[in-house]
Chain A
Amino acid sequence: MLDAGCFRQPYALDDSNLHRSPVALPPLDSPQWKSSLRAFAWGMSSVASTVLTLVLFATYLGIGALAHDSHFSLGWVLGSTLLVWAGPAQIILISTLGSGATAVQAAIAVTVSAIRLFPMVVSVLPLMKTPQTKRRHLVLVTHFIAVTLWVECYRLLPKVPRERRIAFTHGLGCGLVTVCMVATTLGYGLAANLPPLFAAAILLLTPLAFLLSTARNCRQISDILALVLGIALFPLVSMLHTGVDILISGVTAGTIAYGVHWWRERARA
């Protein structure tokens, strides 16, 4: 089943393929870890140590371009990167609002896509807690949690002394947000100024990067089926023009995928 170990395992298995170089963090007992500010800076510079930053960069180039071509302002899409800080939710928000859905329809689609953040938060926060940690110390860390930070925490936090992990994660989060704000601005500007051919190439980054990173994160049969059925069902459901096509195809495909998983578990038991 899905315990924390199972969550981690797929990433642990192909770490070597996923990450360019190990981060040269100081040893756990180094005096460099005495200062929170230093820990923050180490966190921020760790952003440069992973290929996932490159994937995020490409994703947010695409989000900036998508926002431009869906007629949102630059300030609006930057605000969405800062406040929402979840690529899928931003894509869903921009494409549903941009294709004429109401705010309520968009909010429902966003919130369903965001439920996956819940188990991520639940599984990653225990890595940072000390007996002295108050809940309010964890609010900003919690806001930063999305798939990239979640993966990176499992990789990097064991190399950070426990009492500096919150400061370190703040640095990591601020670094990733900064990279993505730059990418959003660049993508927005490029979509506005590039010839159509290159603007189209930047818009294609979004479906490509999301398809591949979702496929990479597939851990069990229900995930793979959900991805395949979700893509296959949407064109059929969209012919109904309900206004909530995404929700109907998503809930249907996801439930079928879960049903298959449930049935297989039962058959095995």
Chain B
Amino acid sequence: MSEFFGSPHSLLILVLAGFLPNEVWRMAGLWFGAGVDEGSEVLVWVRAVATAILAGVIAQILLQPPGALAGVPDGLRYGAVAAGFAVFMLTQRSIFAGVVCGEIVLLAGKWWLG
């Protein structure tokens, strides 16, 4: 069991650094939501910052890839994502088509490079 969950310390970090900082905004919405103007300027800024943070994480995974992804050459990683994005735009924003295309480029490129 301890192998399944890892150390109690890591579970504590999951709750303190993952669960609580995330859940607090949901519960705030439940408690104080009625009085807040959904269209306020602060929320536009918040959405922009949240989007940019997620964009940074996407860039981090591509730039400093974890585990097996590090075995793929830089150019191929960027190329696969760029190809996926291009197909997404060409197919009236189909996430499915974009993801499949990106994956095919990665697999084919890696196979071709050997």
Interface residues of A (CB under 8 A from B): 1-4, 6-7, 14, 17, 51, 54-55, 58, 65-66, 68-70, 72-76, 79-80, 83-86, 88-93, 95, 97-99, 103-104, 106-123, 125, 135, 138-139, 142-143, 145, 191, 196-201, 203-216, 218, 220, 222-223, 225-231, 233-235, 237-238, 245-247, 249-255, 257-258, 261-262
Among B29, B33, B57, the most chain A Cβ lie within 10 Å of the Cβ of B57
- CA A214 to CA B93, docked complex, whole Å: 11
Query: Restricting to B5-41, which residues have a CB under 8 Å from any CB of A?
Result: 5-6, 10-11, 13-31, 33-34, 36, 38-39, 41
Question: Which residues does chain B contribute within 8 Å of A51, judged by CB atoms?
Answer: 95-96
- The contact of A109 among B53, B59, B111, by CB within 8 Å, is B53
- CA A89 to CA B20, docked complex, whole Å: 11
Question: Is B49 a contact of A211 with CB atoms below 8 Å?
Answer: no
Chain B residue at minimum C-beta to C-beta distance from A74:
B4
Question: Is A222 a contact of B44 with CB atoms below 8 Å?
Answer: yes
Chain B residue at minimum C-beta to C-beta distance from A265:
B41
B109 CB, min distance to chain A CBs, angstroms: 10
Question: Which residues does chain B contribute within 8 Å of A218, judged by CB atoms?
Answer: 51
Question: Is A209 a contact of B53 with CB atoms below 8 Å?
Answer: no
Question: Is B17 a contact of A110 with CB atoms below 8 Å?
Answer: yes
Question: Which residues does chain B contribute within 8 Å of A93, judged by CB atoms?
Answer: 14, 17-18
- CA A4 to CA B39, docked complex, whole Å: 8
Q: How many A-B residue pairs have CB under 8 A?
A: 345
Among B11, B17, B51, B65, the most chain A Cβ lie within 10 Å of the Cβ of B51
Main secondary structure of the interface of A (DSSP, over half): helix
Chain A residue at minimum C-beta to C-beta distance from B61:
A207
- Told that A83-B23, A116-B25 touch, could you supply 13 new A-B pairs with CB distance under 8 A? A4-B38, A17-B93, A69-B67, A84-B18, A88-B54, A93-B17, A95-B66, A115-B25, A118-B46, A226-B48, A230-B52, A230-B55, A246-B53
Main secondary structure of the interface of B (DSSP, over half): helix
- CA A223 to CA B51, docked complex, whole Å: 7
- The contact of B59 among A17, A203, A213, A231, by CB within 8 Å, is A231
Question: Which residues does chain B contribute within 8 Å of A80, judged by CB atoms?
Answer: 14, 18-19
Question: Is A205 a contact of B53 with CB atoms below 8 Å?
Answer: no
Given contacts A17-B94, A229-B52, A235-B63, contact A118 B29 (CB under 8 A): yes
Question: Is A226 a contact of B52 with CB atoms below 8 Å?
Answer: yes
Query: Restricting to B63-96, which residues have a CB under 8 Å from any CB of A?
Result: 63-69, 71-72, 77, 80-81, 84-85, 88, 92-96
Question: Is A203 a contact of B68 with CB atoms below 8 Å?
Answer: yes
- CA A255 to CA B85, docked complex, whole Å: 25
Question: Which residues does chain A contribute within 8 Å of B4, judged by CB atoms?
Answer: 73-75
Question: Is A210 a contact of B54 with CB atoms below 8 Å?
Answer: yes
Question: Which residues does chain A contribute within 8 Å of B45, judged by CB atoms?
Answer: 254-255, 258
Question: Is A114 a contact of B66 with CB atoms below 8 Å?
Answer: no
Among A200, A204, A223, the most chain B Cβ lie within 10 Å of the Cβ of A204
Given contacts A69-B66, A72-B10, A207-B61, contact A113 B50 (CB under 8 A): yes
Question: Is B96 a contact of A54 with CB atoms below 8 Å?
Answer: yes
- CA A103 to CA B13, docked complex, whole Å: 7
Given contacts A79-B11, A111-B21, contact A88 B57 (CB under 8 A): yes
Question: Which residues does chain A contribute within 8 Å of B10, judged by CB atoms?
Answer: 72-73, 76
A165 CB, min distance to chain B CBs, angstroms: 16
